[in-house]
Amino acid sequence: MKQAILANIILATVGLAVSAHAQEEIRIGLVEPLTGSVAYNGNSVVEGAKLAIAEVNAVGGILGKQVRLIVEDGQCKPANSVNAVEKLVQKDKVAVLVGAFCSSATAAIMPVAQKYKIPLVTGVSSKADLTEQSNPYFFRAAETDALMARAFAKILAKDLKLTSVAYIGVNDDWGRGGVEEFARDLSGLGVKKALVEYFDHGTTDFYTLLAKLRAAKPDGIFVAAETQDGSILVKQIRQMGLNTKVFGVGSWATPDFINLTGEAAEGIHAAVPYASSMDTPRNQAFVKKYETQYKTKPGKYGAAGYNAMNIVTAAIARAGSTDPEAIREALHKTRYEAPNGVYEFTKKGQAYGFEAVLVRIEGKEPKVIASTPVAMH
């Protein structure tokens, strides 16, 4: 009995300590894949987020308090991401949630955010139907697969002279969504579908899949993949002597992908919401700060973390408190000037107004060959 009483006293003391700290600082919870095959990209989001928080705290924080970022590893797995959110909400008492990278993981935590009535912002997850689920606490500060296909399919078909395309994607909501959206729009332009194949996260041997691709004889290969999987796939495409044009969505324009893939990355086309080569004064300033901090240029995921965190902290400042409902209302009034354009939200929580670009990897740099603003739908 004495031990039970002592345990209750300890838990109550810990709870009081957490509550006291929560009053002294503003806490934001971030769920990203820090381990596993998407860790390269998740850690880039964290880098961008930390840079934004450091800038906010350097000028006094928000509402007179310092901002503390609490990061959890969701591994891009729905169950792990849900557990991470439960911990951030119940134990850490965060005011806002940001995450969870993979669309399937974000879809899993959306109901949890709604259950606790805490705003959730993703800077990455691009499966189009996430903002069609009538979840008033969810905001997406990112492009959708449907938008990228609609914006760039015609340019790709014309510039790459595509007549038939093989579609390869990672076997999750995002990979399947990207394949479906680009296949639909390219087919509408008369480009034949030569092959559709999916692979699991963490795959290291693509040779069986590539043997099927060789037999299909497409003149273009669309790929939806992140850094680790994508770099291995592209290198094995070239090792098999396949000189087919490669294009796609994912981490293609990031320094991590280009460094890992080496010469095999040259000539790849990528549709992305951000590239370090975007020629605007605001982006040049961001690239300089990021390079100073991390000794590398930012990719789309570093920019995504930076933008999401600036959007969230500005909303808390406008709300004038950490009340979740006030923050949710303030998010709808967002007008954030980012390195890649201006972000605003629709009533459904979908961001619009910022720029998306089509790049080609040349000399280890992403060269912008077309751009378009993300319109409101």
Phi, psi of 266 (to 5 degrees): -60, 130
- pLDDT value of position 252: 85
- pLDDT value of position 23: 63
- pLDDT value of position 21: 54
What is the reported pTM?
Answer: 0.88
Say which residue the tokens 């995450």 belong to. 99
pLDDT tens sequence for the chain (377 residues): 444 444 444 444 444 445 555 568 999 999 999 999 889 899 999 999 999 999 999 999 999 999 999 999 999 999 999 999 999 999 999 999 999 999 999 999 999 999 999 999 999 998 889 999 999 999 999 998 888 898 899 999 998 999 999 999 999 988 999 999 999 999 999 999 999 999 999 999 999 999 999 999 999 999 999 899 999 999 999 999 999 999 999 888 888 899 999 999 999 999 999 999 999 999 999 999 999 999 999 999 999 999 999 999 999 999 999 999 999 999 999 999 999 999 999 999 999 999 999 999 999 999 999 998 887 76
CATH of region 146-272: 3.40.50.2300
- For domain 26-143+279-354, the CATH architecture is 3-Layer(aba) Sandwich (3.40)
Burial of 277 (0-12, 13-18, 19+ CB in 10 A): middle
- pLDDT value of position 20: 52
- pLDDT value of position 19: 53
Q: Identify which of 56, 40, 10 has the alpha carbon closest to the alpha carbon of residue 256.
A: 40
Instruction: Give Cβ neighbours of residue 179 (< 8 Å, ≥ 6 apart).
Output: 167, 168, 169, 196, 198, 222, 224
Q: Identify which of 222, 229, 239, 104 has the alpha carbon closest to the alpha carbon of residue 174.
A: 104
Fold agreement (26-143+279-354, 146-272): yes
- What residue spans define the domains of the chain? 26-143+279-354, 146-272
Q: In 314-330, which positions are buried (b, 16+ CB within 10 angstroms) versus exposed (e)?
A: bbbeebeebebebbbeb
Q: In 73-106, which positions are buried (b, 16+ CB within 10 angstroms) versus exposed (e)?
A: bbbbbbebbbbbbeebbeebbbbbbbbbbbbbbb
- pLDDT value of position 6: 46
